[in-house]
Amino acid sequence: MNSLRSDTRALKHQMSLLIQRIMPATSPATLALVHALIDALDAQHSHILLTPEQVQALDTPAHKALIGSPGDQSPLVQLDNRLYLRRLFNLEKRVAQQLFARNRQVNPASVTAPKHQDETISVDALSVSQQAAVATALNRQLTIISGGPGTGKTTVIRSIVSALKQLDPNLRIAITAPTGKATARLEDSFRQDLRADLGPEIKTIHRLLGYGAGNRPRFNQMRRLPTDVLIADEASMIDLSLADALFSALPDTARLILVGDPDQLPSVNLGRLLT
């Protein structure tokens, strides 16, 4: 995928030319705001916050061709006191809508986590918060599990897989992560399972989506992934563009479980999925 932050100076130059074309009388203050917005990409922000004075200064007919509302076609979007590049606004909006659509209860009768098939994990050995995470994953279509190093996130993932498999052995479970290092760590953990059929295949997101020639994914909104449950580890490192591609390819009825550390290093490209 093309980096959203690949060349800040080039983007500033392109935006300056665009602004001069559609709004020749742009003030230095407005141009400075646009440059500040582009600089914000380097800090992993999709928008900047405007002061009340800046909001008032932009509320003029002269700025409408440059800065519009979410439903307009202007290159920039202003939503209350937030200023976005339209491409990033639309991207962030799609990701938020995809998450919101899955934020609902499923299988309400399955509140109690069943006995583990994975004999290397004892349910009693899980902490209260870990047991709550497993129960949530059994009962919600969207589950977000966050925690720092050493809090047992990988153990929770294995527990969730074990519990789901006991509820329905035919469930198609996919586990993914943004990097090869993360998938290798998960594979090592699942090798501890005493049941060879317990561990699902673990792939990087790019491999799972089938990116190939032309940098286009095989699976997308028109051709969904053949999975009932998707567990994405190291979710804090998934950028907005990749999250959009991944969530768009997930069947509408599939569970989505995001696991990660919000204080971990962010993604290379734009996006702070867990913050």
| 228-256: pLDDT as tens digits | 999 999 998 898 899 999 999 999 999 99
Lowest-pLDDT range of 169-183, 199-213, 238-252: 199-213
pLDDT at 118 over 50: no
Termini Cα distance of the chain: 22
Contacts of 216 (CB under 8 A, 6+ apart): none
Q: What is the pLDDT of residue 111?
A: 40
Lowest-pLDDT range of 128-132, 151-155, 211-215, 266-270: 266-270
How far apart CA 68 and CA 59 sit, in angstroms, is 10
Confidence bin at 117 (pLDDT 50/70/90) = very low
Contact 213, 230 (CB under 8 A): no
| CATH placement of domain 103-110+121-260 | 3.40.50.300
pLDDT at 24 over 60: yes
Mean pLDDT of 121-141: 84
Q: What is the pLDDT of residue 114?
A: 46
Q: Tell me: the pLDDT tens digits for 144-162?
A: 999 888 888 988 999 999 8
Contact 83, 33 (CB under 8 A): yes
Q: What is the pLDDT of residue 31?
A: 84
Q: What is the pLDDT of residue 63?
A: 86
Mean pLDDT of 194-221: 82
Provide the whole-model pTM: 0.85
Confidence bin at 5 (pLDDT 50/70/90) = very low
What is the rounded average pLDDT for all residues in the chain? Answer: 84
Q: What is the pLDDT of residue 275?
A: 67
Q: What is the pLDDT of residue 120?
A: 44
Confidence bin at 266 (pLDDT 50/70/90) = low
**CA 142 from centroid of its chain's CA atoms:** 12
Confidence bin at 174 (pLDDT 50/70/90) = very high
Contact 4, 270 (CB under 8 A): yes
Q: What is the pLDDT of residue 197?
A: 53
Burial class (CB in 10 A: 0-12, 13-18, 19+), 120: middle
Angle value at C-alpha 5, between 34 and 29, nearest 5 degrees:
10
pLDDT at 119 over 50: no
3-class SS of residue 230: strand
Q: What is the pLDDT of residue 44?
A: 77
Per-residue tokens: 259: 């696991």
pLDDT at 224 over 90: yes
Domain spans of the chain?
1-85, 103-110+121-260
* Cβ atoms < 10 Å from Cβ of 197: 9
